[in-house]
Structure 1
Amino acid sequence: MTVIASGQAVHVVLFPMMRGEMTVEAQHLTELGNQARNADGMPDASKLSAADWARVWRSADRLSRAASDLASPAQIDVVGSQARIETDGSAWASPANEIKRYIDRDRGGFADRARDLGHIAEQFKRAANTHDAGLLGESAARLDEVCEACHLRFWYPDPKPVE
């Protein structure tokens, strides 16, 4: 995670955090949520081992900590010392300077989306603690919605230029 602490201030470098730890943990949680289903697609806790449930908790905890950093009154940079956002060649994201302006223009909304992510992470932890495959599946579905809501608002191109 790219969080630089100095005293009480936190400096978050968003893109490496998202492309690294947050994406990896979200993928683990989604995969484990899908794995915890029987042949009929119904939630089935027996499909996960004790190690799998522990992995759910660890991934959720990491996602929760990242969400907390994003919701804090941190200084947020999109790419840090990177000159640009590295993508797979598609034009799916706004330039870093525009993303920064979207976030700066609505820090409260950005913090709200981060808190939504934190709430989902806590749901995953509850599912792991109780081995609740139904809650795990619901959390995995909701995780995708929460991520997409933030991405649509702060990451993807806006039809209008940022002022």
Structure 2
Amino acid sequence: MNVVSAQQAPQPRASTRPSGSRPVATVQDLMLAMVDPSSDVVFEAVSTTISIRGQETKTPKNDHEWAVVRNNALTLVEAGNLLMMPGRRIASPASMAAADALAEESTSVAEKASAIELTPDQIAKLVASDRATWIARAQDRATWIARAQELVAAATRALNATEKKDAEALLDSGDAIDAACEHCHLKYWYPKNKK
């Protein structure tokens, strides 16, 4: 009789100590301070303009310009990681005031937006990060994480393109970043605007 014995590796125990990290910025702060300005740099780094003067193509021209775009792509990657951190609030009075101060929209556009956009409280309910709500709303939290991971993947493509100094790949990554942002916004910011 042959006897085979197998032993499983011990399962790691969940840490009961806090990780030491504590979110300070809200999601709205991350959008205002990191995602919006960094995505603008990536989007504007490569473009083609056709006018009566002909066709002009804009790409980073030197190491400095590539480094600027690289740093902004890297900021987008890390912003995506920060969006996945549990316990992050959606907005605060300070972040909402900052958003209002930075808004370039007219009153009529803002009124139209309010008809389709969710409030920070409504978004928070979808992304709730307290354990009891996670269990009840795991699907939405999983979707939130998937959307943030989509941003990380798209921004990583931009980062890789800058490191190779590949303008075409950078342009393509901009489309992927835009799609990642839109997928998240259609779920969490303006779901009433689905086309």
TM-score interval, normalised by the smaller of the two chains: 0.7 to 0.9
1:103 is matched with 127
SS at match of 2:45: helix
1:69 Cα offset (Å): 1.1
Q: Count how many residue pairs are aligned between Structure 1 and Structure 2.
A: 149
Q: Does 1:77 align with 2:89?
A: yes
What is the one-letter code of the residue matched to 1:128? T
Q: Over alpha carbons, which structure has the higher Rg?
A: 2
| TM norm structure 1 | 0.78
Unaligned runs of 5+ in 1: none
SS at match of 1:39: strand
Task: Select which of 135, 139, 163 maps to 1:129.
Answer: 163
What is the one-letter code of the residue matched to 2:120? A
Q: Does 1:144 align with 2:156?
A: no
Q: 1:40 to 1:99 in 2, by over 3 A?
A: same
Whether the 8 Å CA contact 2:161–2:169 is kept in 1: the answer is yes
What is the one-letter code of the residue matched to 1:101? K
Matches of 1:19 and 1:81, distance apart in 2: 14
Unaligned runs of 5+ in 2: 1-17, 49-53, 129-136
Equivalences for residues 1-163 of structure 1 within 5 A: 7-34=20-47, 39=55, 48-72=61-85, 74-82=86-94, 84=96, 86=100, 88=105, 89=107, 90=110, 91=114, 93-104=117-128, 105=137, 106-158=140-192
1:19 Cα offset (Å): 1.8
Q: 1:68 to 1:83 in 2, by over 3 A?
A: closer
SS at match of 2:88: strand
Matches of 1:27 and 1:97, distance apart in 2: 27
SS at match of 1:7: coil
Whether the 8 Å CA contact 1:117–1:143 is kept in 2: the answer is yes
Percent of pairs identical after alignment?
A: 22
Whether the 8 Å CA contact 1:13–1:80 is kept in 2: the answer is yes
Which aligned segments of 4 or more residues in structure 1 are displaced greater than 4 angstroms? none
What is the one-letter code of the residue matched to 1:116? E
C-alpha RMSD over aligned residues? 2.7
Matches of 1:157 and 1:138, distance apart in 2: 26
Whether the 8 Å CA contact 2:76–2:155 is kept in 1: the answer is yes
Q: 1:23 to 1:83 in 2, by over 3 A?
A: closer
